[in-house]
Amino acid sequence: MPVYQDNRELLQRVRWLQVVFILVFIGLFAKLWSLTVLDFELYKNLAERNRVRTIPELAPRGLIYDREGRVLVDNVYAFNLLVFRDEIQNVSETLDFLVDGLGLDRETTQERLKETGIYDIYRAIILKENLTLEETTYLLARQAEHPELGILKQPRRIYRYGSLAAHVAGYIGEVSREQLQQSEFKKNRAGDIVGQFGVERTYDEGLTGKDGRRRVLVDSRGKFLQDLDHSEPIRGEGLTLTIDLDLQAEAESQLGDAPGAVIAFDPQTGEILVMASRPAFDPNQFALRITHKEWEQLLNNPDHPLQNRTIQSTFSPGSTFKIIMALAGLEKGIIDSETSVYCGGSVDLYGNRFHCWKAGGHGQVTLREAIQHSCNVYFYLLGQKLGIQDIASFSRRLGLGDSMGIDLLGEVMGLVPSEEWKREVRGEPWYAGETISLAIGQGPLLVTPAQLARAVGIVATGKAPRLHLIKTESPQPPEQSLFPTPHFSPENLEMVRDALWSAVNEGGTGRAAQVTGFDVAGKTGTAQTISLETREKLSDEEAEQFEPNAWFVGFAPRDDPEIVVAVILQRGGSGGSGAAPVAREVLKVYFDKHQKAQPDGMELASKIKSKPRL
């Protein structure tokens, strides 16, 4: 049929099309093979990453309790704004959104994103803590457009009583870049919140829980679809302090805002009952990511609120040093209970006149009376006989001038002067006249309130347990230094204790520390911060800054002591009128709890609990 022949050429070309089809399809088969078989693993992983989001679940830190189980440091849950940096499409759009709606500072936020650039990209970064309801609503409403942002309920540290026991509890903060280089923080990753101060720092490892994580399926807009798996965060171990919040609160309210410190501990066990340092800071400021400005304010405050004065500040012990002098004199056999000295208000030694605080003098005084009335002349003469070497060595035996191994960071050692020290540091010989000043706790001798308290504790019990902040059933802190318990004759110790008792209970300088029914023994101190000559050159106003520091150190009850207390009020005037009443109030609270209200001591405890100082 001609009709068909006519189209042969056409059909020939049509058949060629089949070749084209087959070649193209082979090409497609090959590409499909390469996608689904050869690169299967690659695409499988990419697919996983596409829709599985890992959401960190921060573990709450362990709670911190006082010795009676009252919660001092707690956690609350707050809504935090997180950014999943791997989801950010356009940084400036994200920033615009946050600046508009949450009032975040653009520069700061950008800086934070830049800073956190060193973290693993899949790690969510907290951009704002403690979102308000309004902010949460704003974010949720536009969630679909911003899959890179998430709102997570996360635990936040709360210090229930604000600044109460702030220096003991300490604070937390993001681990710094410098810290990451140190072995202490080798377990941490950038961005971790770690203890930075106080027991939060010392016991960080135990307090830190184990973070959990939740893996969830999300769609391409970041919308939550379903849970894949979940590892629960594990809360850090709790920590029971030796601190008694009743006493701590009393001590801090007695100190008020004036610079000063109180430390009290159980001389039998070394458990610290009170560690108060004022002025203080509010650790909650740090829990909420302290701003640069707030930090500057704390640092530049002339009263150094960040400083824990009980262990980080040193002072001249003043007349409280007479306790150590007395013990040294007795132990060296230079004096005994009968040795008496005539005090006529001053004594001339090495060409200088050394004054007693009482212008008319104390007359004939024995050791007991010299301590009771804090007679300087007695101790000038004792110092002269003891000499610098013995004074220094007894000071050291009682733990001055050395670190105490308290389980807090930043303890300072203080200074016990000696002939060698003077030569090496000042390049001058030790002058005999300096020994005389040293005998009443003036001069280059520097102690921390904690050191002085422990020295008094040794006098009170003959024991020198290591001072610490954690109840023993909790993990033992690492031993930092073992202080060898010095041995003194029990008679000599008893003699000093008796004298200290009389200073409080028999109309001595410490009488303001008397607590009825509680045999308080103690010694006042009024430590000058400048020499008398300098004082005379100053106007009254200028001199105000150089008011003497008021001291009281003591223990109670006299027989079988349970509590040792040291109080210092900077620029607090005389020890008898400034510091002794503070000690009394603290001891009174202790006495009311343990003796008077026995066996039910919780009555007062509950009173404090119901009035948290937030």
Partner 1 sequence: MLTRRFLSQFDFFLFLAAVILALIGAMGIYNASAEAANYSLFVRHLQWIGLGIVVCLVVTLVDYHILTDHAFLLYGLTTLLLLGILFFGKEINGSKSWFTLGDISFQPSEIAKVAVILVLARYLSEINASYLEHRHLFALGGLTLLPMFLITLQGDLGTALMYLPILLGVVMVAGLRMRFLIGTIIIALCVTPFGWFLLKDYQKERILVTLDPGRDPQGIGYQSRQSQIAIGSGGLFGKGLGQGLQSQLGFVPEIHTDFIFAILAEEIGFVGSIFMLMLYLLVLMRLIRIAENARDRVGILLITGVTSLIFFQVAINVSMTVGIVPPIGIPLPLLSYGGSSTITTFAALGLALNVHQRRFVYSPASGPDPRSLRSHLPASLSKHYNS
Alpha-carbon distance of 254 to 296, in angstroms, equals: 28
Based on the number of CB atoms within 10 Å of its own CB, is 611 exposed (0-12), middle (13-18) or buried (19 or more)?
exposed
Taking a C-beta distance cutoff of 8 angstroms, is the pair 529, 259 a contact? no
The residues facing 442 across adjacent strands are none
Stretch that binds partner 1, among 18-26, 183-191, 232-240, 496-504 (CB under 8 A): 18-26
Q: Which two tokens mark 87?
A: 């989801």
CA-atom Rg of the chain in angstroms: 35
- CA within 13 Å, CB half, 347: 22
Q: What angle do CA 122, 127, 133 make, to 5 degrees?
A: 120
- CA neighbor of 551 nearest in space, from 465, 441, 467: 441
* Interface with partner 1, residue 1, by CB under 8 A: yes
* Interface with partner 1, residue 614, by CB under 8 A: no
Q: Which of 29, 122, 224, 342 binds partner 1 (CB under 8 A)?
A: 29
* Interface with partner 1, residue 2, by CB under 8 A: yes
- CA within 13 Å, CB half, 528: 13
Minimum CB distance to partner 1 smaller for 27 or for 517: 27
* Interface with partner 1, residue 31, by CB under 8 A: yes
Minimum CB distance to partner 1 smaller for 53 or for 167: 53
* Interface with partner 1, residue 7, by CB under 8 A: yes
Taking a C-beta distance cutoff of 8 angstroms, is the pair 440, 214 a contact? no
Minimum CB distance to partner 1 smaller for 77 or for 224: 224
The dihedral through the CA atoms of 57, 62, 64, 65 has a sign that is positive
* Interface with partner 1, residue 217, by CB under 8 A: yes
User: In the range 85-104, which residues lie near partner 1 by CB under 8 A?
Assistant: 89
Minimum CB distance to partner 1 smaller for 217 or for 234: 217
User: In the range 464-483, which residues lie near partner 1 by CB under 8 A?
Assistant: none
Q: Which of 220, 300, 481, 598 binds partner 1 (CB under 8 A)?
A: 220
Alpha-carbon distance of 84 to 387, in angstroms, equals: 70
User: In the range 35-74, which residues lie near partner 1 by CB under 8 A?
Assistant: 35-37, 39-40, 42-44, 46-47, 50-51
* Interface with partner 1, residue 13, by CB under 8 A: yes
Count of positions (residues) in the chain: 614
What is the nearest approach in angstroms of partner 1 to the Cβ of residue 31?
A: 5
- CA neighbor of 213 nearest in space, from 49, 58, 56, 53: 56
Q: Which of 140, 225, 228, 538 binds partner 1 (CB under 8 A)?
A: 225
Alpha-carbon distance of 229 to 54, in angstroms, equals: 10
User: In the range 498-527, which residues lie near partner 1 by CB under 8 A?
Assistant: none
Minimum CB distance to partner 1 smaller for 84 or for 197: 84
* Interface with partner 1, residue 14, by CB under 8 A: yes
Q: Which of 205, 219, 296, 336 binds partner 1 (CB under 8 A)?
A: 219
Minimum CB distance to partner 1 smaller for 9 or for 533: 9
Taking a C-beta distance cutoff of 8 angstroms, is the pair 194, 59 a contact? no
Q: Which of 32, 140, 234, 614 binds partner 1 (CB under 8 A)?
A: 32
Minimum CB distance to partner 1 smaller for 29 or for 431: 29
Q: Which two tokens mark 166?
A: 């702030």
Residues making contact with partner 1 (CB under 8 A): 1-3, 6-7, 9-11, 13-15, 17-18, 20-22, 24-25, 27-29, 31-33, 35-37, 39-40, 42-44, 46-47, 50-51, 89, 217-221, 225
